[in-house]
Amino acid sequence: MKIVLFSALLMPFYWLCLSGETSSITQSQSLSYGKTLVSPSGIFELGFFNLGNPNKIYLGIWYKNIPLQNMVWVANSSIPIKDSSPILKLDSSGNLVLTHNNTIVWSTSSPERVWNPVAELLDSGNLVIRDENGAKEDAYLWQSFDYPSNTMLPGMKIGWDLKRNLSTCLVAWKSDDDPTQGDLSLGITLHPYPEVYMMNGTKKYHRLGPWNGLRFSGMPLMKPNNPIYHYEFVSNQEEVYYRWSLKQTGSISKVVLNQATLERRLYVWSGKSWILYSTMPQDNCDHYGFCGANTYCTTSVLPMCQCLNGFKPKSPEEWNSMDWSEGCVQKHPLSCRDKLSDGFVPVDGLKVPDTKDTFVDETIDLKQCRTKCLNNCSCMAYTNSNISGAGSGCVMWFGDLFDIKLYPVPENGQSLYIRLPASELESIRHKRNSKIIIVTSVAATLVVTLAIYFVCRRKFADKSKTKENIESHIDDMDVPLFDLLTIITATNNFSLNNKIGQGGFGPVYKGELVDRRQIAVKRLSTSSGQGINEFTTEVKLIAKLQHRNLVKLLGCCFQEQEKLLIYEYMVNGSLDTFIFDQVKGKLLDWPRRFHVIFGIARGLLYLHQDSRLRIIHRDLKASNVLLDENLNPKISDFGTARAFGGDQTEGNTKRVVGTYGYMAPEYAVAGLFSIKSDVFSFGILLLEIVCGIKNKALCDGNQTNSLVGYAWTLWKEKNALQLIDSSIKDSCVIPEVLRCIHVSLLCLQQYPGDRPTMTSVIQMLGSEMELVEPKELGFFQSRTLDEGKLSFNLDLMTSNDELTITSLNGR
């Protein structure tokens, strides 16, 4: 009786000890429903939870102070408990045991037995069992990081512990409310050249490519010098693993496998919501074996699938019908008897092939690798196993080459040396020699042409004062000059097949220089409104600008009657072709659109504040924002821009140049422009990106409104969510979208003084600061012009958003 009484008195005290926040339990304690462990800094919490069904209770870990999508680990994912009577405790062998009605539901399996085990939840999100009397680090008897769920956290290893023959991989949940293991998994396969695969069931679904010393071969955005993440890949006799960590303390990030979308998603916590940082796979070329054997896949040309040099389609009929699954075969067999007759052709900018059938030798260089490959009749390709520095090591491929991707920017990939018979090598050499002859002829022609040009220029210098002025301007800026014949050759004589766009001042053509660089050539039309002043302005301004969100000028050409600007070529064209297209719009989901919005804002901020001259663009619109191969935005077309020095921030003009639908009212009506008129244009563009609709007339019964008017009406009615483009509804983060709409309306205020600067815009978009309410979007009084009367109404001003104004007289 005394013993029973003593136990009864002790129990309340025992549970009182667990009622406070603690990060660990010992053998004398247990964890029941409603009790939790909290990591020392309060980041993670371990306990029992359900996913909306009270009859399915799980033991798991979640972010303590993040209410959304916070689960990171589940113990009993396939065996939920039906009521609230589970118990978690450490047994006599030092293992965690989850029981329900005295039945074991789940347990750990530590091979070692200790006298004083303790289970502790760490700030990393790792649940560990360790000896209370031993070291706290690197001496775990068991850890949850070895048995992840669908989430990879910083510091977690994905790979193999070869000593224990333990594979650590991610496995997707079946759905958001069912943590049962799905079919999608991600882990490392122990090929001779190990690599990370995403598997859909037993089939290879996506391949990250092997680690090449800098990054995974199939992840060009994994830059070693990035400011956010540190990447680590280890391969030795004891373990093969990959992990990442955050460089900035206090940052929160995670990788999640999603069964519904079949994606690996990288999220960053903004303080209010999860921002989708990147996804894999990104395109069809990232789907394993999309083009079949001995091919490469690229998104920069059509068709996406191409046979490697020296190969031809195995099934021409299927290939021509865009069924590439059969792949390609060699045009001519290799001559293994006479090894000297075979050779190799290098291909740059690749994700290297599947490494299933490979051989790796880290001790030899590339030259020795070539010899070794040539001496093996089955060796089809080779390259460095490590491309960092000058490159080192050797990896060789045997048999068919699978799952190769070609990147538009060669630096994003690596070189692969592919074996070909002598006949194919000779054919390739002949083609190269032909190109050399052409290049030599072109060079000779250039020399003659330039000689004639300079003679004529000297002879007729005083004939054209305008021409002399423009050339002197260009010479002063040290801008590379291209010869007209070079551009004619690159664009196939300005062929219609090379035409990729039509700007307000002339057509734009795609071209390829003799060094294989792709270019975009803006050809000033002789009948356009852009004259010599605009041409020299664009050259002057953009030659001085260096920013990742501004298009790069490679040079110009001013010969005969031609005025040409040569830019870097943007693979994905202009922003308007995405956001105003129902099909392509789906490729630009909300995280990518949010990324585009920030990029445009940063580019505009650079123009207004950080460049050597303060620059007002005056024609910011969706068609003047270009997208590179990674969908990074770049502001283009500076023909109408104006530059100021010192503290000047505004000006006026009698010649209004720009596009209705994006013009600030004070500029369209009175010719007054400032950095705030660019802010107004940004507000229109921001609204279009969110809505996927042009700022032109919308029919609503008998009333016609612009997008601005429509948005303002819905905002006042508190129905702003109706503005969201249907293409992004599944991917959008509602608070972010609403903040973007709010900021756009602030940018669209009637009076310039009420609009924010781009500095404030970026701060508002990237934080949770409280925003002021936008004022009523008002009206402008009619104003009499020489050309007639213009009644300016903010709601109706953009009924023709492609009308370009080129003059405003009689002010």
Rounded Cα gap, residues 27 and 89, in angstroms? 7
Q: Which two tokens stand for residue 679?
A: 């802010």
**Residues 468, 458 contacting (CB under 8 angstroms):** no
The answer to whether the CB of 44 falls within 8 A of the CB of 125 is yes
The answer to whether residues 47 and 75 touch, using CB atoms and an 8 Å cutoff, is: no
User: Is residue 402 a contact partner of residue 311, using CB atoms and an 8 Å limit?
Assistant: no
* Integer CA distances (angstroms), 534 to 359, 526, 539, in order: 59, 13, 9
> In a 3-state reduction of DSSP, which class is residue 243?
strand
Distance CA 378, CA 620 (A): 57
Task: Please answer whether residues 609 and 759 qualify as being in contact, where contact means their C-beta atoms are separated by less than 8 angstroms.
Answer: yes
CA atoms of 301 and 324, how far apart (whole Å): 15
Angle, CA of 354, 408 and 511, to the nearest 5°? 145
Residue type present at position 597: I
Pairwise CA distance, residues 40 & 183, whole Å: 35
SS3 for 304-325, per residue? CEEECCCEEECCHHHHHCCCCC
Distance, in Å, from the CA atom of 63 to the CA atom of 153, rounded to the nearest integer, reads 11
β 788-790/783-785 pair status: antiparallel
Considering only CA atoms, give the Rg of the chain.
32
Q: In sequence order, which residues have a C-beta less than 8 Å from that of residue 450 and are 6 or more positions away?
A: 483
Cα(106)–Cα(98) distance, integer angstroms: 5
Active site residues: 619
Taking the chain, what is the end-to-end CA distance rounded to the nearest angstrom?
105
- CB of 273 closer than 8 Å to CB of 260: no
Residue 619's closest CA among 658, 575, 565?
658
| Integer Cα distance of 576 and 4 in angstroms | 78
DSSP 482-520: PPHHHHHHHTTTT-GGGEEEEETTEEEEEEE-TT--EEE
